[in-house]
Amino acid sequence: MLSLAIPLLVGVVVAVAATAAGPSACSNITSQLGSSKITTNELSLNYVGSTEYWNTLQDDYKPSCVVYPESAQDVSVVIQAVRAAGSRFAIKAGGHNPNTFYSSVDKGVLLDLSSMTAKFYDPDTTLATYEPGGVFGDVYEYFAKWNRTVVGARLAGVGTGLALGGGMSYLSPQYGMACDSFRELEIVLPDGQIVTASNETNTDLFFASRGGGGNAYGVVTKYTVQSRPIGEFWAGNLIYVFAQKDNVVEAIGNFIKYNTDPKAAIIGTYEKLPTPDLNLNLDEAIIMFLVYDGPDPGNAFKNFTDITALLDTTGIKTYNEVVNMPIPMSTEISAGNNMFRVGVHRAGNNSYENALDEWRNWAESNKGKYVLLSLDFQPVPKSLTDASRAQGGNAMEMPDGPWFWLNYLISTPPGMSQADYDAVQTSYRDMVKATGNAEGLPLFINDANHDQNPLQTFSAFDKLQEIKKKYDPDSFFADYTGGWSFA
Ligand SMILES: Cc1cc2nc3c(=O)[nH]c(=O)nc-3n(C[C@H](O)[C@H](O)[C@H](O)COP(=O)(O)OP(=O)(O)OC[C@H]3O[C@@H](n4cnc5c(N)ncnc54)[C@H](O)[C@@H]3O)c2cc1C
Ligand SMILES: *[C@@H]1O[C@H](CO)[C@@H](O)[C@H](O)[C@H]1NC(C)=O
Ligand SMILES: *[C@@H]1O[C@H](CO)[C@@H](O)[C@H](O)[C@H]1NC(C)=O
Ligand SMILES: *[C@@H]1O[C@H](CO)[C@@H](O)[C@H](O)[C@H]1NC(C)=O
Ligand SMILES: *[C@@H]1O[C@H](CO)[C@@H](O)[C@H](O)[C@H]1NC(C)=O
Ligand SMILES: *[C@@H]1O[C@H](CO)[C@@H](O)[C@H](O)[C@H]1NC(C)=O
């Protein structure tokens, strides 16, 4: 009896300690930072706002408190207090990663970076500095005063955590991924130390932070990046009826294979709604995003503009208008029970058509189990991988383009039972898996599902494991917050 009772008792004590850990960390933080930078009131506007996510299933989690640090010093205090209490925690920038507990936490400390929004432009070096709070739309607006921008999100509403996962921009074919423009990062390490990482100091940490994912090696509290010139764009959306699907996918394939103009960028998206088809194809549409950095795209998009479109919004636009395509607030409007998956393919062997057909077959046989499905083609041209390498390369060590990522979105209806939800996610997962991925190419962290273990697909995985061990030696981040597996 006694031998049984002791482990039971220990179990109870550990469980009690875990529930007490959040509140204990919170009261320690309050005593150090003062009550103005923290809230425990679940009904306050701050608390409610901080617990809203793009994947709204995470809105139900109730952190013990939400902390709003204003400096790297504040972040350091919070990390050390969380560590001392043994509490779970999460780091939140824009809150768009759909994976559970990546930027959300239940009963622990939510570190909301939204109060850290300082920005600075140095005209002599053309370097831009921004803190992690706010969304890319705010960052773009600030640097636009100098006709400059930073490489970041294609939608204004996405947060800065995007850059830590690589970051695909409309400017990426010219300048590489968002992380390739990093020049220096300020990082609060898992032990609370505040360090800088660049190609000259803490070079391993700098390497890992360029596309090796957020919430793994510390909290980034400042980004110093190479800014880029910005002027007029020729851009817009072409919307096609689904009857054009084969013509459009062929044009996407040709663009991936043959376009060599780095100022031209596209996203090709196939959308599927749950409404009945009625043989009218009203439940399907194709939305092309065409963006040219400059007023004249030449023939870059001719293969798309030659196909008859239902709607055409192309024309001269400012960058602010470009990142609000197809409509302003797209990021906010698209919040829901959303989950991502990713695939990666080389430009050949009918890989576009295959993936599209698999996806569409799944969509047809799973009506009623989603409110929206989309399949997005994201080219990775050679100019992008060249630009990445020219700036020192990133954690993905991207092999030469052209190749492409596919982003699979599924948005499930509200009120689904857990069993139905799990079943539909498993089925969607199996469809993506069956489509297969190209050997030797990295899965894109920003579009990946937790169970896809994207880091394992990086050629630098061993090196990243070592870096993780060095900066998170006692697995504090690994055990107390969500994130990509290093195992
Ligand atoms: C509508 C929409 C559009 C998108 N468009 C693009 C796109 O154009 N290009 C692209 O590359 N991706 C895009 N994505 C994917 C996007 O990059 C990821 O969802 C990314 O995780 C969002 O970052 P966030 O700051 O908004 O989210 P968060 O969930 O707050 O952060 C993402 C992850 O990084 C961690 N993190 C954030 N900030 C820090 C920090 N300062 N220090 C340490 N860890 C941190 C968080 O803990 C979390 O795990 C899009 C996503 C959505 C929903
Ligand atoms: C409070 O947090 C600090 C670090 O911010 C830590 O050093 C200290 O031990 C904590 N106190 C308690 C009682 O946990
Ligand atoms: C930005 O570009 C516009 C349009 O070319 C120009 O009128 C303006 O003077 C520029 N501003 C700066 C700060 O260079
Ligand atoms: C670091 O990057 C800068 C450009 O930002 C470059 O001039 C310098 O040569 C690089 N140093 C090393 C050690 O790679
Ligand atoms: C357009 O498609 C044709 C094949 O039909 C291809 O030869 C050409 O390179 C494509 N152009 C671009 C810019 O994608
Ligand atoms: C096409 O498939 C063949 C055989 O499966 C393979 O050897 C080749 O590498 C593939 N080509 C591309 C571009 O993926």
Radius of gyration of the chain (CA): 23
Is residue 470 included in any domain, yes or no? Answer: no
Q: Which ligand is nearest to the CA of 437?
A: 6
* Mean pLDDT across the chain: 94
Whether 309 and 424 map to the same domain: the answer is yes
Pair 149, 319: CB distance under 8 Å: yes
**Peptide linkage before 326 cis (omega within 30 of 0):** yes
Is residue 75 included in any domain, yes or no? Answer: yes
Whether 106 and 167 map to the same domain: the answer is no
pLDDT digits (tens, 9 = 90+) for 203-248: 999 999 999 999 999 999 999 999 999 999 999 999 999 889 999 9
Please tell me the predicted confidence (pLDDT) of residue 348.
Answer: 79
**Residue 27 C-alpha to ligand 2 middle, in angstroms?**
10
For residue 321, give both structure tokens.
């208008």
pLDDT digits (tens, 9 = 90+) for 163-211: 999 999 999 999 999 999 999 999 999 999 999 999 999 999 999 999 9
279 falls in which pLDDT band (50, 70, 90)? low
Nearest atom in ligand 1 to the alpha carbon of residue 167 is 11
Is residue 476 included in any domain, yes or no? Answer: no
Please tell me the predicted confidence (pLDDT) of residue 1.
Answer: 42
Please tell me the predicted confidence (pLDDT) of residue 354.
Answer: 86
What is the CATH number for 365? 3.40.462.20
Is residue 409 included in any domain, yes or no? Answer: yes
Whether 423 and 439 map to the same domain: the answer is yes
- Considering only CA atoms, which residue is closest to atom 6 of ligand 2? 81
pLDDT digits (tens, 9 = 90+) for 339-391: 999 999 998 777 778 899 999 999 999 999 999 999 999 999 999 999 999 99
On the CB side of 18, CA atoms within 13 Å amount to 10
67 falls in which pLDDT band (50, 70, 90)? very high
- 81: Cβ below 6 Å to ligand 2? yes
Please tell me the predicted confidence (pLDDT) of residue 18.
Answer: 57
**Residue 170 C-alpha to ligand 1 middle, in angstroms?**
16
Per-residue pLDDT at 4 exceeds 60:
no
Whether 249 and 145 map to the same domain: the answer is no
Please tell me the predicted confidence (pLDDT) of residue 2.
Answer: 43
Whether 334 and 368 map to the same domain: the answer is yes
Q: Which residue, 195, 229, 263, sits at the end of a domain?
A: 229
Please tell me the predicted confidence (pLDDT) of residue 13.
Answer: 45
436 Rama class: left (phi>0) / alpha (psi -120 to 50) / beta: left
Whether 126 and 243 map to the same domain: the answer is no
Q: Which of 147, 232, 317 for mutating ligand 3's site (highest number of atoms within 8 Å of CB)? A: 147
Whether 223 and 237 map to the same domain: the answer is no
Per-residue pLDDT at 277 exceeds 50:
yes
Is residue 20 included in any domain, yes or no? Answer: yes
pLDDT digits (tens, 9 = 90+) for 304-331: 999 999 999 999 999 999 999 998 999 9
Q: Which residue, 84, 115, 146, sits at the end of a domain?
A: 115
Whether 221 and 325 map to the same domain: the answer is no
- Considering only CA atoms, which residue is closest to atom 9 of ligand 2? 84
Q: Which of 349, 352, 354 for mutating ligand 6's site (highest number of atoms within 8 Å of CB)? A: 349
- 183: Cβ below 6 Å to ligand 4? yes
Rounded to whole angstroms, the Cα distance separating 475 from 356 reads 40
- Considering only CA atoms, which residue is closest to atom 10 of ligand 6? 349
- 199: Cβ below 6 Å to ligand 4? yes
Is residue 180 included in any domain, yes or no? Answer: yes
Please tell me the predicted confidence (pLDDT) of residue 274.
Answer: 75
Whether 355 and 258 map to the same domain: the answer is yes
**Residue 109 C-alpha to ligand 2 middle, in angstroms?**
14
Q: Which of 57, 61, 75, 91 for mutating ligand 1's site (highest number of atoms within 8 Å of CB)? A: 91
**Residue 64 C-alpha to ligand 3 middle, in angstroms?**
48
- Considering only CA atoms, which residue is closest to atom 1 of ligand 3? 147
Domain count, the chain: 3
Please tell me the predicted confidence (pLDDT) of residue 280.
Answer: 53
Please tell me the predicted confidence (pLDDT) of residue 358.
Answer: 94
Q: Which of 258, 301, 377, 404 for mutating ligand 5's site (highest number of atoms within 8 Å of CB)? A: 258
Q: How far is CA 290 from CA 266, 277, 316, in A?
A: 5, 28, 12
pLDDT digits (tens, 9 = 90+) for 475-484: 999 999 999 9
Provide, rounded to the nearest whole percent, the portion of the chain with pLDDT above 70: 94
Is residue 29 included in any domain, yes or no? Answer: yes
Range of the domain at 7: 2-115
Whether 423 and 314 map to the same domain: the answer is yes
Please tell me the predicted confidence (pLDDT) of residue 352.
Answer: 76
Q: Which of 199, 204, 207 for mutating ligand 4's site (highest number of atoms within 8 Å of CB)? A: 199
**Residue 487 C-alpha to ligand 6 middle, in angstroms?**
30
105 falls in which pLDDT band (50, 70, 90)? very high
Pocket of ligand 5 (CB under 6 A): 254-255, 258-259, 300, 303
Q: Which ligand is nearest to the CA of 230?
A: 3
Is residue 174 included in any domain, yes or no? Answer: yes
Instruction: State the DSSP code for 312.
Output: E
Rounded to whole angstroms, the Cα distance separating 42 from 40 reads 6
Lowest mean per-residue pLDDT among 46-50, 117-121, 432-436 = 432-436
**Residue 400 C-alpha to ligand 4 middle, in angstroms?**
22
- 198: Cβ below 6 Å to ligand 4? no
Please tell me the predicted confidence (pLDDT) of residue 7.
Answer: 46
**Residue 435 C-alpha to ligand 6 middle, in angstroms?**
14
Q: How many CB atoms lie within 10 A of CB 86?
A: 18
pTM: 0.95
Q: Which residue, 229, 262, 283, sits at the end of a domain?
A: 229
Whether 445 and 315 map to the same domain: the answer is yes
Whether 389 and 342 map to the same domain: the answer is yes
**Peptide linkage before 123 cis (omega within 30 of 0):** no
Q: Mind spelling out the 3-state secondary structure of 112-134? A: EHHHCCCEEEECCCCEEEECCCC
Please tell me the predicted confidence (pLDDT) of residue 273.
Answer: 82
What is the CATH number for 224? 3.30.465.10
For residue 140, which phi and psi values (nearest 5 degrees)? -60, -45
Listed in sequence order, the residues at least 6 apart from 306 whose beta carbon sits closer than 8 Å to its beta carbon are: none
Instruction: State the greatest distance between any 2 C-alpha atoms of the chain, in Å, as a whole number.
Output: 82
- 82: Cβ below 6 Å to ligand 2? no
Per-residue pLDDT at 5 exceeds 90:
no
What is the CATH number for 108? 3.30.43.10
